[in-house]
Amino acid sequence: MNTERTEQQKKVVTRFAPSPTGFLHSGTYRTAVFSYLFAKKHGGEFILRIEDTDKERSKKEYEENIIDCLSWLNMSYDKFYRQSENAPRHKEILEKLISDGKAYISKEEAKDGSGVIKEIVRFKNPNRIVSFVDAIRGEIKIDTTDLGDFVIAKNLNEPLFHLAVVVDDADEGVTHIIRGDDHISNTPRHILLYEALDFNVPTYAHLPLVLSEDRTKLSKRKGAQAVTYYRDQGYLPGAILNFITMIGFNDGTEKEIFTLDELIQVFDLEKVQKGGAVFNPVKLDWLNKEHIKLLSDVDFKNHVLSYMSDELKNIAGFEKRIDAILPTIKERIVKFGDIRDMETAGELQYFFMDPSYEPALLLCAEKQRKGKESMTVKDLAPIYEKLKEIISGITEFTPESAKAFIWPYAEEQGRGIVLWALRTALSGKERSPDPFTLVSIFGKEETIRRLDIALQKLNEINP
């Protein structure tokens, strides 16, 4: 039997075959991403097969989550299967193997110590060396003698993974199986079954482990998160795809930011590294910020609005000012979920409504004096008056223009004092965008009005 297939002889077909027994983390989805990219690179098909034969642990919610995640990542599958629907076919193959003398029913005592005798199905192992060429690792040889006659079914109606996956992949025309390297030890069993059934053996590609930052296997206990976690935190699907693809893959260039179409163009199994690759959340944040920059102004605004509360969006004047603060938001966020955090911390409301001033915060300008005498209200009041005078003379309200007008006075009086006074008067916050940016957003009238309010608040304090 000729087990080799070239891409010219048969269309490439790959598959992602998860079990719906829990929420899958991003390391698991790497097999889906690589399978998808490889199929699309070669004009082939990508299959989603839900392996739901574990009736006790399989849940509909997990299956739906898998489907939702692939949809969110823009990875459309060409065909969909549920392994449980293939049960009649699995039984047919088991009966054929037994009839052909390649498998047999073995009566064995249950391992739970109950003394119950069960009839299991074992594959008659030819006990030979199995050799195959892995698309990533090259030639692999494994002696199957130690496997013995391995179990392929609990009974005729309950096939185990080894049999079910071989039958399903063969029936569904899968040509390339891309999976984690923890399956390398399973591959000889599967090849023996392919050959016993006279099925074409697919090409295997075993991916290296995804490692946590301490270089141990990535797992839920080691910081792995479900893909939906990143979606809910406001990461972009394009950034997640870009990041997952780069875990253990490099196209040989310095380029790091890729769209989905670009990933399809450059993907090559031969460029997948053989050693484990680290899941680096810092790199993910950087990639996501870069993908945010790729959004059109309209798309960016729509994303921002979707993460703001109705309470914030219903503030009078919101529509008038939202466009002006979008560049500031883009500069400050790593992911769109940061917008919710900013709102919770009160770092957005002051753009649309007067801040509530804490007199002690306004007077904290004294901290900027670096060991000099403490500031008093009488010291700060002239600074506010001078700032109002300077702002009145600004003609073009950009951060650069505001700085050009204000900076000379800040240098003369003390940058820390002047800039703190201006920042807190405009925002009411210790932390905010730089005061020149705030001046450019609020404009002349609003800036002067807020300085007046802050000055009034200072005058209510006894010097």
Specify the pLDDT at position 463.
52
pLDDT band at 372 (very low <50, low <70, confident <90, very high): low
Of 113-122, 226-235, 255-264, 416-425, the range with the lowest mean pLDDT is: 113-122
* Torsion angle in degrees (nearest 10) through CA of 331, 332, 335, 338: -150
pLDDT digit string, tens, across residues 435-444: 999 999 999 9
Residues with Cβ within 8 Å of residue 383, at least 6 apart in sequence: 365, 413, 417, 418, 421
In this predicted structure, the answer to whether residue 9 has a pLDDT above a threshold of 80 is: no
Specify the pLDDT at position 223.
66
How far is Cα 222 from Cα 143, in angstroms, rounded to an integer? 34
Q: Per CATH, which fold does 220-294 belong to?
A: Glutamyl-tRNA Synthetase; domain 2 (1.10.1160)
Specify the pLDDT at position 49.
98
Specify the pLDDT at position 7.
42
pLDDT band at 111 (very low <50, low <70, confident <90, very high): confident
Q: Per CATH, which fold does 359-459 belong to?
A: Arc Repressor Mutant, subunit A (1.10.10)
In this predicted structure, the answer to whether residue 461 has a pLDDT above a threshold of 90 is: no
pLDDT digit string, tens, across residues 142-190: 999 999 999 999 999 999 999 999 999 999 999 999 999 999 999 999 9
Higher per-residue confidence, 53 vs 369: 53
Specify the pLDDT at position 5.
42
Same fold yes or no, 220-294 and 359-459: no
Specify the pLDDT at position 105.
96
- Burial 299-336, CB ≥16 within 10 A → b, else e: ebbebbeebbeeebeeeeeeeebbeebebbbbeebbbb
Share of the chain above pLDDT 70, in %: 94
Rg (alpha carbons) of the chain, rounded to whole number: 32
In this predicted structure, the answer to whether residue 2 has a pLDDT above a threshold of 50 is: no
Q: In 3D, which of 25, 65, 32 has the Cα closest to residue 224?
A: 25
Q: Where are the domains of the chain?
A: 220-294, 308-351, 359-459
In this predicted structure, the answer to whether residue 394 has a pLDDT above a threshold of 70 is: yes
Averaged pLDDT score across all residues of the chain: 91
How big is the CA angle at 384 (ends 379 and 389), to the nearest 5 degrees?
130
Q: What are 197-202's contacts with CB under 8 Å, separation 24+?
A: 197/93, 197/96, 197/97, 197/166, 197/167, 197/170, 198/1, 199/166, 199/170, 200/1, 200/3, 200/5, 200/170, 201/3, 201/132, 202/5, 202/169, 202/174, 202/175, 202/176, 202/177
Is-contact 15 204, C-beta < 8 A? no
Q: Is the pTM of this model over 0.85?
A: yes
In this predicted structure, the answer to whether residue 40 has a pLDDT above a threshold of 60 is: yes
Higher per-residue confidence, 170 vs 58: 170
